Each structure stands twice: as C-alpha cells, then as structure tokens.
Structure 1
Amino acid sequence: MALSASSRKERLYKLVAVSVGLLCILQAAANIGLRLSLYGCTANGKPDLEEIIKNLTEKEEDLKDHYLKRGWVYFNQSFYSISSSQMSWQDSRDDCLQNGSDLIIITSKEEQDFARQFKKRTWIGLTDRETEGTWKWVDGTKLKESYWRTGEPNSYLGSNEDCGEMWPHEEQHWNDLECSYKNFWICEKALAQ
C-alpha cells in the first residue's frame, strides 16, 4: 500500500518535530550536566558556594604555578617580570601584551616599594602621550597617587618626554623620559584578569 504525497509529508513533519524535540531535551541535559560539573550544586539545585570557591582556588593555584615556573615574582595578587634586555616604551609594552600582561601599574606605596627591589631603571605603564600633562596608566585610569622625583615630570628642555620610568635608588623616583629611549621594563599580570 503506497502512501500518498500528503501522508509522506505529514510523516516527515512529525519525524522532524520529534527529532527537534529530542535535540532540545539533549541540549538541556548537557547544559545542566556542565553546570553541575563546573560549579557543583547542593541537593536543592542551587550552586554550592564552597565548591565554586574550591574550583576558583584550584584555578588560581594552577595560574600561580604557571607564572612562577616561568620566573615571575608573585606579590599582592599580581605576578611581575622584569626584562633582561632594553627596549623603547612601546616595544616594552608590546612585549608584555604578548605575554598576557601589561606594563606595571603602581597603585600603592607597597607596590612602589616592591617594584624598587628590582634595582634597575625600568619603564612603568604611565604615559601622557594622549594629552600632554595628563598622565594615565596603560589601562586608561588617570594617575592619582604618584612618586615623581622633585621637579618631575618636566619634559626636560622642551623634549617630548611622554613615558614614565622608575629609578630604583631614590624614594621618590619616577621620571618622565622620551618614549624611544631604551630601558628595562616590568610586566604585571593581575591574578583577577
């Protein structure tokens, strides 16, 4: 007994509808399974905060191991690396960016003191290239707390000193310098990034 064309169409539509329904059910089950395995849930189906914290702590430890094995130094929720060569400010920043970090952003006296321990003149992530006299960090935030040497920044003798460097041998030791100057640099990778 041959089916009519309309009967075949009807069967095809039913088959497609059932298939799509099954796919939706499978997708929902997969999503629930992934959430449970990723976050862990309590018996009532809500996320288990202890399990989430444990997972995040494990990921944080893995990240710490990764950077420490590469010779980075850990301090106050960030990793730091000082270069072994000298480059311009932009080339230094590009090097940091290629490593998933950026030039150091100094946000506290403690971080300033920590960075001084590297004992080299280094580029920091500070520039006024966008607007002369308006110093900003590489993340776009304006400079609030600063550690300029006396008389700095000064664009010495009218030169185009638009990039910030650190001098390790003085308490107040930032200096503005031409960005093309070759310097060591410090990369920073914040743990929360």
Structure 2
Amino acid sequence: MSEGVYENTDGFNDDEPDAMKNTDIDDQLYSNVKAFKPSPRDGVVASVHVQWWKRPFLVAAVCLGLLCVLLLAGIIGLSVYYGVIDNHASKLRDQLQTSYNTLTKERDQLQTNYSTLTKERDKIQTSYNTMTKERDQLQTERDVLSGRLTSLKQTCPEGWQKFESSWYFLSTETKTWKESREDCLERGADLVMINSDKEQEFLFKLKKTVWIGLTDSVTEATWRWVDGTPLTTPRYWSPHQPDNGDGKPEYGEEDYVQIRNNQSPLEAWYDISCGIKLGWICEKVL
C-alpha cells in the first residue's frame, strides 16, 4: 500500500500547476485506500490498538472522578471549617463589640467625672484666690495696726510713764479707793496690779503713798486684784500687815491696800479704810 502511494507520488511532474498536483494526489490516495484490504493479522493489530487507546481514557475517567470526589470533599470540608471559623469569629466580634460598648460607657463616665472634678477644681482655685487676696488685705491691715500700736507703745501720753510692757499714770490729787479706780477706768486703765519685784521697786521709787488695785472687800481676808484674780505671790506686806485696823473700831474695816514710802520696797503694803483719800496709780497693759 505504501509503496503504491510512494510510486504514484514519484510520477508527478514538478512542472504542473499546484492545483492539479493536489487533485491527482487526492484521487490516487482515494483509489489506493479502496484497493486496500486488511489481512487477519492486521485486524488483530487494530484490535490491540483500539484496546490500548481505550484503557488510558478509562484511567483518566476514574482519576477525574476521584478528583471530583476529593474536590467535593475538600469544598465540603472547607465549608464546614470556614463555617465554624465564621461562627467563632461572629461570637468573638460580638464579645469585642460588647467590650467596646462597655469601655465606651466607662470612658464617657470618666469624661463626665473629669469634667465635674475640673469644675470643682476651678471653683476651689477661685475660692483660694479670693481667700489669698483677703489674707493679703488682712495682712496689710494688721501691719498698719501693728505699726500704729508700735508707735503708741513708743510714745506715752502726757502724764504717763512706761515701764516694761505697761504704762503708768501717777495722780496729782487725792481720792478714795473707789473714786481712784473710777478715774483709772475713765482713762482706759485700772488701778495697778503688781506682779514682780521689779514692778514693786519701780512703784516704790515714785516716792508716793498711793492706792493699788488690791482689796478683800468681797470676802474678808481673801485678797483679790481688781481683775478678780486672787493674791498669791509675790506679797509685799509691811510687818504685821494686813491687820484690819488691829480690831480698833475707830479705824473701821481696812479692806483696801496702799503703798507707803517709809519702808523697804519689798515691805511697803498696808491695808487701810476706804474713806481715806490718797493719790493713786493707774496701769494700762500694752
């Protein structure tokens, strides 16, 4: 068969047109195919060829089916997997949303508290500033008053003498004890109260017999100063004093005390009757 084909092929003239060459070749091939009769051996070979070609298609079909099954199983598995993941993600998202909402509320509450505290702080700051100004004003006023007081302490009024932390007024006339005290009160002072040896010696050196602010007119033998405090120490009684007139009616009740300038400075107190008129000493404590 093939030799005939090749022989016919060698018989073509190269000088003929291409269209004619193609027509003759086709006709010759068709004639050769019709004339071809396969032998029994050829049938066996063809059958083998057919079976050989059928088996790969079968294997391919089986493989393709298995791949489809695997693919379907994979798709189902992925669907289940991603469904579980999506469910878990949804729950997690809800939890996060809840946490976010809670934190937002807490943040808003903290912001409200902060705003409230800020307002209170501003009020306190305003109050503090006001009090600071008032304090400064009071400090200024105190300084002014202190300066005035210092000036007054340094300058004694006319007729007064300064000793330590007090001013003393020595009268130039005589009165009873009660009248003398009234005069002192009118001057913004009181009859002198003696608290130390130095003060007693200062008054003694004035060389005057004068009333002092000591009496037992409320309770006999209980001597008190004009401010109500009891006499404790020091005491500057003259010897045998106080004697309350030594029991002699003509002297009467001797309930008031004078300083006499005829004894030692620390033994110069005498109790005498209120009706006697003497000079007096007023004291104003600074």
Q: TM-score w.r.t. structure 2 length?
A: 0.49
Which one has more relative contact order, counting CA pairs under 8 Å at least 6 apart? 1
Amino acid at match of 1:160: E
Q: Could you tell me how far 1:122 is from its partner in structure 2? A: 0.3
- Quote the residue 1:62 is aligned against: 151
User: What is the Cα-based RMSD across aligned positions, in Å?
Assistant: 2.4
Q: Could you tell me how far 1:129 is from its partner in structure 2? A: 0.2
The 1:37–1:169 alpha-carbon spacing in structure 2 relative to 1, beyond 3 Å, is farther
Name the CA distance, whole Å, in 1 between partners of 2:216 and 2:163: 27
Which residues of structure 1 form unaligned runs of 5+? 1-27, 41-50
Name the CA distance, whole Å, in 2 between partners of 1:135 and 1:126: 7
Amino acid at match of 2:256: C
Matched, 1:154 2:243: yes
- Identical-residue share of aligned pairs (%): 40
Match of 2:260 among 133, 148, 167: 167
What secondary structure is seen at the aligned counterpart in 2 of 1:69? Answer: coil
Matched, 1:177 2:272: yes
Which residues of structure 2 form unaligned runs of 5+? 1-128
Q: Which has the higher helix share?
A: 2
What secondary structure is seen at the aligned counterpart in 2 of 1:143? Answer: coil
- Quote the residue 1:74 is aligned against: 162
Q: Which has the higher strand share?
A: 1
- Quote the residue 2:282 is aligned against: 187
CA deviation profile, 1:149-178 (whole Å, cap 9, x unmatched): 000000114320000100123120100000
The 1:98–1:32 alpha-carbon spacing in structure 2 relative to 1, beyond 3 Å, is farther
Name the CA distance, whole Å, in 2 between partners of 1:98 and 1:32: 40
Matched, 1:138 2:226: yes
- Quote the residue 1:37 is aligned against: 137
Count of residues in Structure 1 that have an aligned counterpart in Structure 2: 152
- The answer on whether the counterparts of 2:209 and 2:279 sit within 8 Å (CA) in structure 1 is yes
The 1:181–1:39 alpha-carbon spacing in structure 2 relative to 1, beyond 3 Å, is same
Q: TM-score w.r.t. structure 1 length?
A: 0.71
